[in-house]
Structure formats: C-alpha cells, structure tokens
Amino acid sequence: MITREEAGRRLESDFMPGHTLFARRIFLWSGIYGIAALLPQYLLEDRLARDFPPPLNHPEYFYGFVGVALAWQFAFIVISRDVVRFRPLMLPAAAEKFLFAASTLALYFSGRVAAFTAGAAMVDLFLGILFVVSYVRCSNPRA
C-alpha cells in the first residue's frame, strides 16, 4: 500500500479514468505536434516562395494564419490539463482541424496546393476525428 506522500508524487494521470486520460494525451500531443510544425514557419517565408512559387503577395495572411493556428496549439495544451472542465472547447478545436483539412483538400483537388500540404491536412483531419472521439468519451464520466 502506498502512503499519501507517495501518491502525491505520482503523476495525476495515474489516477485518471481511461476516458479522460485518452483525451488528455490526444490534446497534449496534438498541441506539441502543432507547435513543432508551426513555429518554424515564421522563418520559412523565403524558402516557401522558392519551393512553392509565387512569393507571398499578402504576408499578413500567412503570418496571421500561423499566429492563429499557433494560438490554438496552446489552447489544446490548456484543454489537456483539465479535459472535463474544458470539454466545451473540444468542438471548436475539432472545427479548427476540420476547417483546415477541408479547405486544404479543396485547394489540392483544384490543383492550387502541393501534395505535401494535402498530407498535412490529412494529419489535421485525423486529429479532428480524435478530438470528436475525446469529446464523446468525456461526456460520460463513468466510461
């Protein structure tokens, strides 16, 4: 039997039901992945202009997108800290993923973005599905 002090040292996730642990992990890792994927884009404007011409005509749209998307990644990490409390934010989080995926895939099928970008959209589509699964699983505290 563990003492109260030992229990205090254990990770909180050791004591969480499976449904909340699943959601916590999904949102935490999604936020970390998103930060790792988005943050470098602040330094890639010139390279993107070379690799995917033409150069940006409206860099404010590009940097605005990166900034808003980056802010959402931090929101995902906040959600991961207390998935029951922040459950209502899971639906807008899923919308963020689905809207990016849908618009990017529409652009891909019209020949306006590269296959690499469509692949990134598929990752977001998958994460959006996991966000919805997390939302549903957190609706029943006994699940």
Q: What's the pTM value of the predicted model, to 2 decimals? A: 0.83
Interatomic CA distance for residues 47 and 44, integer angstroms: 5
Per-residue pLDDT tens over the stretch 36-92: 999 999 999 889 888 888 888 889 999 999 999 999 999 999 999 999 999 999 999
Q: Residue 9 above 60 pLDDT?
A: no
pLDDT band with cut points at 50, 70 and 90 for residue 5: low
Helices 59-81, 90-109: inter-axial angle, 10-degree rounding: 140
Cα separations in angstroms, 76 against 12, 31, 60, 94: 18, 5, 24, 10
Dihedral class, residue 62 (left if φ above 0, else alpha if ψ from -120 to 50, else beta): alpha
Domain spans, the chain: 17-137
Q: Where are the alpha helices (DSSP H) in the chain?
A: 4-9, 18-38, 45-51, 59-81, 90-109, 115-137
Considering only CA atoms, which of 72, 76, 80 is closest in space to residue 20?
A: 80
Portion of the chain with pLDDT greater than 70, in percent: 85
Q: Residue 143 above 60 pLDDT?
A: no
pLDDT number for residue 3: 65
Give me the mean pLDDT over the 104-115 stretch: 95
pLDDT number for residue 1: 62
pLDDT band with cut points at 50, 70 and 90 for residue 123: very high
Task: Return the C-alpha torsion angle 54, 67, 72, 47, nearest 10.
Answer: 40
With beta carbons less than 8 A apart as the criterion, state whether 134 and 90 touch. yes
Q: Residue 17 above 80 pLDDT?
A: no
Mean pLDDT of the chain, nearest integer: 89
